[in-house]
């Protein structure tokens, strides 16, 4: 049965390799690089979206200011025509006051339009600065995504080969023993089967008395030695 346990130990070695490979898939540096690239691109996209929103809002207000400016121009034309036909001093004074008010409002509209045009210009300038950074970030993300895909494919191929190897190894182990092994692995994934390091169990690392070791060595061929502390199969 010791030969069977040696075969089972080989199965466990492969199982450990499979577990380690699966762990590597979830802890790849390429994943961190891809995630960092995604965050960098998302930040640039957000900044450009903010610029677009500022430009759109400013253009909407510019349209409104233009409409009000035209209305004020029309009103000034009308008031100036009226002023030319007025004879009464008081009525003329009222018209002049209204003309002055409308002129002031018209000037404020011009100032506001210039301010809004400045907002658009600044946002467009910032977009122009961000555009090449965004292009570079997209390229970085594409490269990082490809690198991650390649790394995963390599490990997937490694896992597939190990699974195939494990399948072949398990064929020489009795099914009942494989079932017992699988049950033990739930509690000790890396130590369901182990060798002794002197008197020490390779799984739980506790010492086994020499008397117990001698008893295990003297077991009948149809019995399998187990660590008295953790229950792992012992391979001599």
| Predicted confidence (pLDDT) at residue 158 exceeds the cutoff of 80 | yes
Distance CA 198, CA 177 (A): 26
C-beta separation of 13 from 162 below 8 A: no
SS3 state of residue 188: coil
Task: Calculate mean pLDDT across residues 68-95.
Answer: 94
CA atoms in the 13 A half-sphere facing the CB of 103:
9
Give CATH 1.10.287.1490 domain extents, the chain.
27-153
Contact 204, 227 (CB under 8 A): yes
Tell which CATH architecture fits domain 27-153.
Answer: Orthogonal Bundle (1.10)
Average pLDDT over residues 189-198: 91
Q: How far apart are CA 28 and CA 218, in angstroms?
A: 48
| Confidence label for 1 from pLDDT (cuts 50, 70 and 90) | low
Q: What is the DSSP letter of 88?
A: S
Cβ 198 vs Cβ 191: under 8 Å: no
Q: If DSSP codes are grouped into helix, strand and coil, which group holds residue 233? A: strand
Task: Count Cβ atoms below 10 Å from residue 135 Cβ, excluding itself.
Answer: 11
Q: What is the mean pLDDT of residues 189-201?
A: 92
Q: Report the pLDDT value the prediction gives residue 86, as an integer from 0 to 100.
A: 87
Extract the tokens encoding 125. Answer: 């300038």
Q: What are phi and psi of 191, to 5 degrees?
A: -145, 35
Q: What is the pLDDT of residues 84-120, one digit of tens each?
A: 998 899 999 999 999 999 999 999 999 999 999 999 9
Summarize pLDDT for 205-236 with one digit per residue, the tens. 999 999 999 999 998 888 899 999 999 999 98
Answer yes or no: are the C-beta atoms of 233 and 194 closer than 8 Å. yes
- Return the pLDDT at 2: 64
In this structure, is the dihedral angle defined by the CA atoms of residues 128, 129, 132 and 138, taken in order, positive or negative?
negative
For residue 201, what are the β-bridge partners? Answer: 196
């Amino acid at each position: 049965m010791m030969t069977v346990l040696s075969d089972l130990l080989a199965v466990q070695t492969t199982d450990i390799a499979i577990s380690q490979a699966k762990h590597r898939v979830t802890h790849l540096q390429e994943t961190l690089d891809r995630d960092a690239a995604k965050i960098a691109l998302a930040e640039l996209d957000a900044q450009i979206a903010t610029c677009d929103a500022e430009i759109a809002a400013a253009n909407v207000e510019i349209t409104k200011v233009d409409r009000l400016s035209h209305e004020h121009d029309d009103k000034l034309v009308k008031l100036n025509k009226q002023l030319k036909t007025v004879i009464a001093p008081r009525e003329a004074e009222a018209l002049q006051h209204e003309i002055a008010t409308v002129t002031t409002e018209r000037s404020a509209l011009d100032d506001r339009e210039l301010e809004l045009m400045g907002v658009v210009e600044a946002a467009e300038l910032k977009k122009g600065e961000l555009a090449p950074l965004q292009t570079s970030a997209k390229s970085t993300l594409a490269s990082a995504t490809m690198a991650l895909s390649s790394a995963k494919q390599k490990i997937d191929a490694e896992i597939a080969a190990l699974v195939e190897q494990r399948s072949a190894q398990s064929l020489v182990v009795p099914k009942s023993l494989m079932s017992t092994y699988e049950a033990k692995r739930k509690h000790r994934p890396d130590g369901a089967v182990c060798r002794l390091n002197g008197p020490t169990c390779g799984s739980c690392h506790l010492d086994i008395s020499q008397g117990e070791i001698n008893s295990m060595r003297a077991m009948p061929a149809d019995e399998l030695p187990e660590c008295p502390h953790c229950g792992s199969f012992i391979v001599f």
